[in-house]
A and B are shown apart, each in its own frame.
Chain A
Amino acid sequence: MCLFNVKDGFLEAVVRGYKLGLLTTADYNNLCQCETLEDIKLYLTGTDYGPFLANEPSPMHTTTLVDCCTRKLVADWRYLRENAGEPLGRFLDYCTYGHMIDNVVLIVTGTLHERDVQELLEKCNPLGMFDAIASLAVAQNMRDLYRLVLVDTPLAPYFSDNLTSEDLDEMNIEVMRNTLYKAYLDDFAAFVHRVGGTTAGVMSELLSFEADRRALNITLNSIGTELTRDDRRKLYANFGLLYPHGQAELAVAEDFDQIRTAMEKCQPYQSIFSRLGLGETQMLDKILYEEEVRQLINTYEQQFHYGVFYAYMRLREQEIRNIMWIAECVAQDQKNRVQDGIVFTF
């Protein structure tokens, strides 16, 4: 607390300033009233997105709108990263490794379906870019992927622990993504523990939630596939509120009701599932997003820790998802559904 501001006080204040620019409930209500994409653009020009939208030519598309919003996040993030000392710099890097994993998976899957690499690169998340990303397309199996490209990236340690020489197919790629993500989450959790102090307290709560949510999603998606129970168990991160007993129950769960029973044994998730009516699996995503946003906003209640940087990134991403949903609803004339997809932040 006494020495935090030596290196990080300035950036913490800056990121709290960025957070003030996030859209509020009133903003969302106004956005929902918009009739065309032009209206949305006009409204967003009055917010922090202004400089990034001002020079966009009409007519707008949803993708260009979302691109502009993402550019704002990326610009903010670059500014933070360039001004960060250690260990904040490494913390900010850690926040983006998840995007890096997603990009690798995106390129590899795209190449498998013989899509153009340039086209794929445009779809990648700019936060997770690294130098050799374009050459990912040449890899035919996991060993090549590691040896040719990823050995120079920060993802290398996550790979080398779990390397198999299997060919890349749809199922293997998905397993690879989750194995990498598990290794990444474990590593991130260990890192915030090393940083210690308030950062460790705040971040381990957020990361536990993330780990549990991934465990839940893996279980949901693997029901009815050929993934065995042991393989499923290996994809869960080694921490989180469900670790280890809840995860053991999830690993053997066969349908949604069993998952629900396993999750409800954990106090915080009981309230989440109680908001979910019987058989309503579609709403689960939204409820989990709302819970995440609530936790992210809580990080701003404390000062002198790194969690606010992570929270800013996640909140901005959620906001971009909200804008995308509103824009899609407007573009496709589905205005009656516009409220369903928005996760309100402030």
Chain B
Amino acid sequence: MRALVLGVAATLGLPSLLLLLYLLNVDLQYLFFLFRNISPYFWSALGISLCVGLSIVGAAWGIFITGSSLVGAAIREPRITSKNLISIIFCEAVAIYGVIVAIILQTKVEAVKPQADGTYGLAAANAGYAILGAGSVTGWANLACGLSVGIVGSSAALSDAANSTLFVKILVVEIFASALGLFGVIIGIIMAGNANFMAQG
């Protein structure tokens, strides 16, 4: 409920802030001036760090949700441990997606000279924002994916302990949850595909 309110506030917040600035006769050119003067290398570094950071937060979150249930349930039913390691591996894979995409993004970053007035050209700006977008798409997708795999994995451990025939059925649910992260990875790679600092124009 609280998250919903925050989400609505965030989506309405930015447009209404811009509207407020417009109504107060603030010259929006200054705002664009600000963005023009931020180096695209800042945006690409931010994108890469979001990509790795959020993926790893997601993976870690999933692992502790699954892991604590798994450890507790394994006291009575030690047979579940080796089977349910697969839930931990699914969570770990989320972190690996993040690292892979971050490496791909990092290879796109190349050094170009700024223009005479200190700003960067269109190609560099395009590449910087593309890497920021690709990194945050991957990062947020993997955060959600890690959480969802973790919660399903925790239930998988508990239900496997109670009834071992349920394991395969819940594993299917878990596979679908872990596919969510891949969507983010695919879109991230496509977004970063045409980012090129050296392009002419």
Residues of chain A at the chain B interface (Cβ within 8 Å):
1-2, 5-6, 9-14, 16-18, 20-21, 303
Contacts and interface: CB of A to CB of B under 8 A. Distances in A.
Contacts of A17: 72-73, 75-77, 161
B154 interface: yes
Contacts of A9: 64-65, 68-69, 72, 154
A258 to B, nearest CB: 43
Q: Could you say which of A1, A2, A13, A14 has the most chain B C-beta atoms within 10 Å of its C-beta? A: A13
Contacts of B147: 2
A14 B73 CA distance: 6
B72 A13 contact: yes
A315 B69 CA distance: 22
Contacts of B154: 5, 9, 303
A16 B64 contact: no
A11 to B, nearest CB: 7
B68 A21 contact: no
Q: Which size class do B's interface residues fall under? A: 20 to 34
Given A5-B68, A9-B68, 14 more contacts: A6-B64, A9-B64, A9-B65, A9-B69, A9-B72, A9-B154, A10-B68, A12-B69, A13-B68, A13-B161, A14-B75, A17-B73, A20-B76, A20-B161
Nearest to A18: B76
Nearest to B163: A20
Nearest to B70: A13
Contact of B162 (A1, A2, A10, A16): A16
Nearest to A6: B64
17 contacts: A5-B69, A6-B64, A9-B65, A9-B154, A10-B69, A13-B68, A13-B71, A13-B72, A13-B75, A14-B75, A16-B158, A17-B73, A18-B76, A20-B77, A20-B161, A20-B162, A21-B76
B72 A303 contact: no
Interface in B157-198: 157-158, 161-162
A303 B162 contact: no
B69 A13 contact: yes
B61 interface: yes
Contacts of B161: 13, 16-17, 20
Q: Could you say which of A2, A9, A11, A16 has the most chain B C-beta atoms within 10 Å of its C-beta? A: A9
B81 interface: no
Interface in B32-74: 61, 64-65, 68-73
B131 to A, nearest CB: 29
B176 to A, nearest CB: 18
B141 interface: no
B155 A11 contact: no
Contacts of A1: 151
B142 to A, nearest CB: 15
A13 B64 contact: no
Given A13-B72, A14-B72, A17-B76, A5 B155 contact: no
B77 to A, nearest CB: 7
A303 B158 contact: yes
B61 A13 contact: no
Contacts of B151: 1-2
Contacts of A13: 68-73, 75, 157-158, 161
B94 to A, nearest CB: 15
B164 to A, nearest CB: 12
Contacts of B64: 5-6, 9
Contacts of A10: 68-69, 71-72
A9 B151 CA distance: 11
Contacts of A14: 72-73, 75-76
Contacts of B73: 13-14, 16-17
